Amino acid sequence: MWAGDVESLVVNEYYQPHYILTSVAGALTAYDLPDLYALIAPRKLLLVNPADQNGKDVSRKQLDRDMKIVKTAFEKQGQEDKFDIRFLKAGGQRDSVLSRWIK
Protein backbone atom coordinates (compact mmCIF):
# COMPACT_ATOMS: atom_id res chain seq x y z
CA MET A 1 0.00 0.00 0.00
CA TRP A 2 1.39 3.38 -0.80
CA ALA A 3 2.71 5.26 2.08
CA GLY A 4 -0.14 7.45 3.05
CA ASP A 5 -3.38 5.83 2.15
CA VAL A 6 -4.68 3.71 4.99
CA GLU A 7 -8.03 5.19 3.99
CA SER A 8 -7.93 3.01 0.87
CA LEU A 9 -8.51 -0.06 3.05
CA VAL A 10 -11.86 1.40 4.02
CA VAL A 11 -13.06 2.90 0.75
CA ASN A 12 -12.13 -0.03 -1.51
CA GLU A 13 -13.82 -3.40 -1.47
CA TYR A 14 -10.73 -5.28 -2.61
CA TYR A 15 -7.16 -4.90 -1.37
CA GLN A 16 -4.17 -7.13 -0.77
CA PRO A 17 -4.87 -8.89 2.56
CA HIS A 18 -1.32 -8.53 3.88
CA TYR A 19 -1.89 -4.77 4.20
CA ILE A 20 -4.35 -5.24 7.03
CA LEU A 21 -1.56 -6.69 9.18
CA THR A 22 0.27 -3.37 9.08
CA SER A 23 -2.78 -1.27 9.89
CA VAL A 24 -3.37 0.18 13.33
CA ALA A 25 -6.79 -0.72 14.72
CA GLY A 26 -8.93 2.38 15.24
CA ALA A 27 -6.40 4.71 13.63
CA LEU A 28 -8.84 6.00 11.03
CA THR A 29 -11.03 7.49 13.74
CA ALA A 30 -8.26 9.99 14.50
CA TYR A 31 -5.96 10.32 11.48
CA ASP A 32 -4.64 8.86 8.26
CA LEU A 33 -1.01 8.71 7.20
CA PRO A 34 -1.02 12.03 5.28
CA ASP A 35 -1.90 13.71 8.58
CA LEU A 36 1.14 12.11 10.18
CA TYR A 37 3.34 13.04 7.23
CA ALA A 38 2.29 16.67 7.65
CA LEU A 39 3.60 16.54 11.21
CA ILE A 40 7.05 15.56 9.91
CA ALA A 41 7.53 19.05 8.44
CA PRO A 42 10.05 20.67 8.48
CA ARG A 43 12.12 17.46 8.53
CA LYS A 44 12.76 15.60 5.27
CA LEU A 45 10.11 13.29 3.79
CA LEU A 46 10.59 11.17 0.68
CA LEU A 47 7.89 8.90 -0.77
CA VAL A 48 9.12 6.43 -3.38
CA ASN A 49 6.86 4.65 -5.86
CA PRO A 50 3.52 5.17 -4.10
CA ALA A 51 1.08 2.30 -4.73
CA ASP A 52 -2.62 1.79 -4.06
CA GLN A 53 -4.31 -0.86 -1.91
CA ASN A 54 -3.61 -3.48 -4.59
CA GLY A 55 0.04 -2.65 -5.16
CA LYS A 56 -0.61 -0.75 -8.39
CA ASP A 57 0.84 2.70 -9.07
CA VAL A 58 -1.29 5.31 -7.37
CA SER A 59 -2.97 7.77 -9.75
CA ARG A 60 -1.68 11.33 -9.94
CA LYS A 61 -5.19 12.56 -9.07
CA GLN A 62 -5.33 10.47 -5.89
CA LEU A 63 -1.77 11.37 -4.96
CA ASP A 64 -2.44 15.10 -5.37
CA ARG A 65 -5.62 14.82 -3.29
CA ASP A 66 -4.04 12.82 -0.49
CA MET A 67 -0.80 14.79 -0.31
CA LYS A 68 -2.40 18.25 -0.30
CA ILE A 69 -2.24 18.48 3.51
CA VAL A 70 1.41 17.39 3.44
CA LYS A 71 2.43 19.90 0.76
CA THR A 72 0.62 22.65 2.65
CA ALA A 73 2.40 21.80 5.91
CA PHE A 74 5.82 21.97 4.25
CA GLU A 75 4.93 25.18 2.38
CA LYS A 76 3.75 26.93 5.57
CA GLN A 77 7.15 26.27 7.09
CA GLY A 78 9.03 27.34 3.97
CA GLN A 79 10.41 23.82 3.53
CA GLU A 80 8.90 22.71 0.20
CA ASP A 81 12.27 21.31 -0.90
CA LYS A 82 12.25 18.82 1.99
CA PHE A 83 9.16 16.96 0.72
CA ASP A 84 9.57 14.88 -2.41
CA ILE A 85 7.75 12.09 -4.23
CA ARG A 86 9.78 9.99 -6.65
CA PHE A 87 8.74 7.43 -9.22
CA LEU A 88 11.66 5.11 -9.92
CA LYS A 89 12.12 2.15 -12.22
CA ALA A 90 13.13 -1.17 -10.71
CA GLY A 91 16.83 -1.72 -10.21
CA GLY A 92 19.79 -0.05 -8.60
CA GLN A 93 18.52 3.48 -9.21
CA ARG A 94 16.55 3.38 -5.95
CA ASP A 95 19.64 2.99 -3.79
CA SER A 96 21.49 5.87 -5.42
CA VAL A 97 18.46 8.18 -5.21
CA LEU A 98 17.93 7.35 -1.54
CA SER A 99 21.57 7.82 -0.59
CA ARG A 100 21.73 11.23 -2.35
CA TRP A 101 18.44 12.33 -0.80
CA ILE A 102 19.44 11.40 2.75
CA LYS A 103 22.52 13.66 2.68
Whole-number Å distance between alpha carbons of 53 and 62: 12
pLDDT of residue 55: 78
Q: How confident is the model at residue 81, as a pLDDT?
A: 93
Q: How far apart are CA 64 and CA 62, in angstroms?
A: 5
pLDDT string in tens for the chain (103-residue length): 344 455 666 666 666 666 555 555 555 556 677 888 898 999 999 988 888 767 788 888 888 988 999 999 999 999 999 999 988 877 657 777 777 877 7
Distances, alpha carbon 83 to alpha carbons 34, 50, 65, 78, in Å: 12, 14, 15, 11
What pLDDT was estimated at residue 83? 94
